[in-house]
Amino acid sequence: MPKINRYVDIDTVERESKKDYIDRHSPFIHCEDEAKAGEMFSVTVKMGNEYTHPDDFDHYIANMALYNGETLLARADFVAGALGNMKEHATVTFNIVPTGKKLTLVAQSYCTKHGVWESDPKTVSVSE
């Protein structure tokens, strides 16, 4: 099983040397805190918060996936050059239809050079 990396707090001494590496590889979930059952709900996953990721032939984000707990909801695949071979925030908006009383959303991304990275969970309450 591949190693799963997560966005973590970094101590002051290592901040600048590691923050760009960790930030650019971490997926971040952007969505509302509440959704309605049976209605379309938009969830945006963005790679990096402050730092952009390369889009080179041997180093790029190959995919981003959205999970509710351990259930895969959606996935987007990319090829090298999809972002014009420029450093950029790969961003995908997934439209899902929520069920149940809550969602526990987690995003994962795969960097061709640095493996799988996982977001912090985002809880969304689902109303009738």
- Total number of domains in the chain: 1
**Residue 73: CATH number of its domain:** 2.60.40.730
Measured CA distances, 83 to 62, 91, 95, 123, 125 (Å): 11, 10, 21, 30, 33
Which helix (H) or strand (E) element contains residue 116?
A: strand 115-118
Per-residue pLDDT of the chain (128 residues; tens, 9 = 90+): 566 776 665 555 566 667 778 888 899 999 999 999 999 999 999 999 888 888 999 999 999 999 999 999 999 999 998 888 888 889 999 999 998 999 999 999 999 999 999 999 999 999 98
pTM, two decimals, is: 0.85
Range list of H helices, 12-125: 15-25
CA 16: distance to chain centroid? 22
State the Cα–Cα distance between residues 86 and 59, nearest whole angstrom.
Answer: 11
Q: What range defines the domain where residue 61 resides? A: 4-127
